[in-house]
Structure 1
């Protein structure tokens, strides 16, 4: 089974594109702080508290 996994990984890496296409950012460039603050303020109170607890 290990040989099959290694063979599959080698095949995938050999056929992997050198560069992946870049996706547009979900946050507008240059407005990151205001965008995140606005999103935070739109959250329900419980989710705000949960997020703040994670950041502590």
Structure 2
């Protein structure tokens, strides 16, 4: 794709946490779930482990 990196919503949340843009990823992921985004417990737990939560 012309050298443009592709990221999904989960990747953006992880990147924001790692760069210090957001203080915690868990509340954002929970809010996404409440708004109807499907995220399995396994995926959420893996993402949180990547950012040390």
Normalising by structure 1, we get a TM-score of 0.29
* Bigger relative CO (Cα 8 Å, ≥ 6 apart): 2
TM-score (norm 2): 0.30
Task: Flag the structure with higher helix content.
Answer: 1
